Amino acid sequence: MTFVSSPLAGRAIGLAAVPDPVFSGAMVGPGTAIDPVREPSAAVSPVDGIIVSLHPHAFVVVDDEGHGVLTHLGIDTVQLNGDGFELLVAKGDTVQRGQEVIRWNPAAVEAAGKSPVCPVVALEATAEALSDVAVEGDVKAGAPLFVWQ
């Protein structure tokens, strides 16, 4: 069982509210989304594991059970070409839950015309494999988001 924590402080809104059909339709996988606090912050690892994919706007951590969790910082933020994002770890690094991975500013993303909403997705999972999914309410970085059976 994998307990997935919020990589950011903000408000849980659920995947259906993500302004991107690929995420809102759960085509990438089930999970939830965070509408982040509009201030400079660091996205933290939602689980203990290894960074298997790392881009300025997104990262995937795989835990000991082989569960890969994608954190995507904003929507269409790949178009910002890394501007405003600072990588704090490297691909292949072992990270602990709560460890800072990428520093960014959601307000700057919004000012650039992109949505700062952050999907947090269980890769290669079924919706039935997740429980206790946070889809509303304020969350702090490190707070429970969902459980992956």
Cα–Cα dist 67/47, whole Å: 9
Token digits of residue 140? 């702090």
Furthest-apart CA pair in the chain: how many Å?
39
Would residue 72 show up in a list of annotated catalytic residues for this protein? yes
What is the enclosing helix (H) or strand (E) of 59?
A: strand 58-62
Catalytic residue, chosen from 55, 57, 67, 72, is 72
Q: Tokens 């970085």 — which residue?
A: 141
Backbone angles phi, psi at 72, to 5 degrees: -115, 115
What lies within 8 Å, CB to CB, of 146 at 6+ separation is 4, 31, 32, 122, 130, 131, 132, 133, 134
Catalytic positions: 72
